[in-house]
Structure 1
Amino acid sequence: MVTDSRLAVGDTAPLFRLDDQDGNPVSLADLRGDKVILYFYPAALTPACTEQTCDFRDSLASLGAHGYRVLGISKDDVATLKQFQEAEHVTFPLLSDEDLTVHRAYATWGEKNLYGKITVGTLRTTFVIDEDGVITHTFYNTKAKNHVAMLRKKLGLVDA
């Protein structure tokens, strides 16, 4: 069950420090001055999460041209994230939140309907954070398919 309130546009993004697929720490505070697209996905190496991650990978250059950095977060361990990164040639940080601390801070862990059954897990969610660490967009319970196209449209990116 989600115990924290959902974050909203205008909220300051909770700070975190997590290890990436190479075991290197990544801190949101270190990215101040950059715009960040932060997405939470349920599990590496699964079809929908692979589709979403590869969509971000394939759009990374154009998102970067608009000043955005992309970070993916899941509850997977670093070794699984490394396997995912290598298998799919992911070129941005995939962050491990095994203890769900960051998931809970962002209210992305909770009940969801999975094929008609209520389960508890990661709520596929994306946040856009500005250079000052303020959330400018929230997309809770989003779909993996065509996610980046939807995101580009909402961000008003001209080459969408």
Structure 2
Amino acid sequence: MPTLQPGDVAPAFTLLDADQQPVSLSDFAGGRVIVYFFPAALTPGCTTQAVDFDAALSDLAAAGYQVVGISPDSPEKLARFREQESLGFTLLADPDKNVLKAYDAYGMRVLYGKQIEGVIRSTFVVDVDDAGAGTIAVAQYNVRATGHVAKLRRELGV
């Protein structure tokens, strides 16, 4: 399976957020954004990861990073997730899985010892230039929900 590497062009996207408003990668022009892909809102592992990102938001923002979570869930389900967990970052819906596939974050993976097709929990740090084009700075596939944010913060020096 091909995977994105640091230095690669980040696939551009425009998806609906939890409020059904379009959000594009180019909206983060001139900044750095952590784009992470998760399988399903309102599930234990995805909740752990989202809460960990939320707890790190102020430190990440102070270091110049914004956070965006993307899943195949509907905007309505993401809105419930955001409200239930009081999340302060953008959640985007990719029900057609086009962005997941563009980032190689959807495909065959192992779940409980079985090969299944699904979301590959992945995290990217994207540098977005002033024109709105992104470059992959960090690409991590098959990350663990628990402890991932702390590990990423250490790697980023945040």
**Class of the TM-score when normalised by the shorter of the 2 chains:** over 0.9
Query: Could you say which residue in structure 2 is the equivalent of 1:107?
Result: 104
Q: What CA distance in whole angstroms lies between the structure 2 residues aligned with 1:34 and 1:26? A: 15
Q: 1:6 aligns with which of 3, 6, 29?
A: 3
Cα distance, 1:117 vs. partner?
1.0
What are the superposed Cα offsets for residues 63-97 of structure 1, whole Å, 9 maximum, x if unpaired?
00000000000000011001100000011110000
1:134 aligned to 2:135?
yes
- Structure 1, unpaired ranges of 5+: none
- Report 1:37-116 matches (<5 A): 37-116=34-113
The question of whether the paired residues in 1 share the 8 Å contact of 2:33 and 2:65 is answered with yes
1:154 aligned to 2:155?
yes
Cα distance, 1:109 vs. partner?
0.4
Code of the aligned partner of 1:155: L
Identity %: 49
Code of the aligned partner of 1:150: K
Aligned length: 154
Residue aligned with 1:107, SS: coil
Q: What CA distance in whole angstroms lies between the structure 1 residues aligned with 2:44 and 2:154? A: 24
Q: What CA distance in whole angstroms lies between the structure 2 residues aligned with 1:131 and 1:75? A: 23
**Structure 1 residue runs of 4 or more that deviate by more than 6 Å after TM superposition:** none
Q: What CA distance in whole angstroms lies between the structure 2 residues aligned with 1:56 and 1:156? A: 15
Query: Could you say which residue in structure 2 is the equivalent of 1:144?
Result: 145
What are the superposed Cα offsets for residues 6-61 of structure 1, whole Å, 9 maximum, x if unpaired?
11100111100000001111010121101000000000000000000000011101
Which segment drifts farther, 17-26 or 124-133?
124-133
Code of the aligned partner of 1:149: A
Query: Could you say which residue in structure 1 is the equivalent of 2:20?
Result: 23
- TM-score when normalising by structure 1: 0.94
Cα distance, 1:141 vs. partner?
0.4
CA RMSD of aligned residues (A): 0.9
Cα distance, 1:131 vs. partner?
3.4
Q: What CA distance in whole angstroms lies between the structure 1 residues aligned with 2:29 and 2:5? A: 19
